[in-house]
Structure 1
């Protein structure tokens, strides 16, 4: 696999984002917000929020968040009304009207998720820096603040809990995710959101940006189902299914700002 291209001044991607509707699907942590030591400390910069708000106000532009966080938490971080969101890696969906629904495939496993979270809180209580985040349909075990000498033990404990409770485990950036063992992930989430927001129309344009291993499902799914979709990996990674890459969250903001400027000019000309 060749490495992803950089969009440069965004000229390489702007023609592919000229359709209507333009559906922008955006991961949050590491993509809009810099990664924080604790999930609750992560913040979407005001400059980024202003760009997203400007895009969301434009006619024919639809913005949705795609996050491993609970959907309500992702929406809280961006703090803009009317956005759709997929939370918990696709196990939660929130429409632009604020109505939330949990994927029906998760229902049989919710008690197992709660039990796994309780077990891990007890087992990891003595490990300084370990954090067990119960997000309803999924559990995240964070070890970013754990002494590196003990990080492997935290990872192993999370994986054992997954096996014990019949859950699927997956690695992220210094986090292990425990989820119901069904085919729901960010790939299924972006396809559902794209469909619901009109991204499947012949005239539509699509973009997804993400930074983590879990976002690879979305890159694969979009490029397979919508070959003209623009996929952007945020951060340094030569091994990604995304077509384009930018070095960090501020660089992605610059790309989104260029899209905002181009679409705003089109709106003025049409007016």
Structure 2
């Protein structure tokens, strides 16, 4: 009998939970296909899938870029940059995402618009630029900005930990070979750090899929908002929110399985070297 690294047989590691979950998912799919009511609920809710995916992908991409920048600031030789990065991470992580969403949407964006108009007043008077209005920035993009800022603080810590996990001796050896700081980061640090960073980064992506449901409080037409609209008009709360949960589970469990497969592939690739 094959034994894995933890001392358990492959039979013990068989994903029975996935078999049960797959059976339940198939049962719900049959119910949706055969029931006119459930098919109608699913049809309405599915209109929000594109918005949910867009908010998650764009928000996570921006949060990853910003988080990497904050992580590099926290590892900088400059005390001012390190303290600025630490201030950002601690403050943002201490604010709930929902509160941050409200603040960005109804306080932060109007503040930025007012500041922009004040700075560009001469250009506006000369007719070069038009006045920027708060309503010019859609609630969708306000939600994306809020998720970007909220998650960037957590992603920054993931990058920082992954970069610091790389053996400093290899960095010193690369420095002795004459590699520039950027070359050391691109060729030595990042390829090794990514193996440490990938699992928690994937978990953050899955978490953002779920937290993207918070944008419904701003009226953004995502999966949750479409469910709220249908349930409030039909009073079919059980059917509606059961299918909302079903759609989110399909997204998150599917992403979790894809992430595990990628991790196994990376481990096997590393073992063959």
Please, what TM-score do these two structures have when normalized by structure 2?
Answer: 0.29
Per residue, is there more strand in 1 or in 2? Answer: 1
**Higher-Rg member (1/2):** 2
Per residue, is there more helix in 1 or in 2? Answer: 2
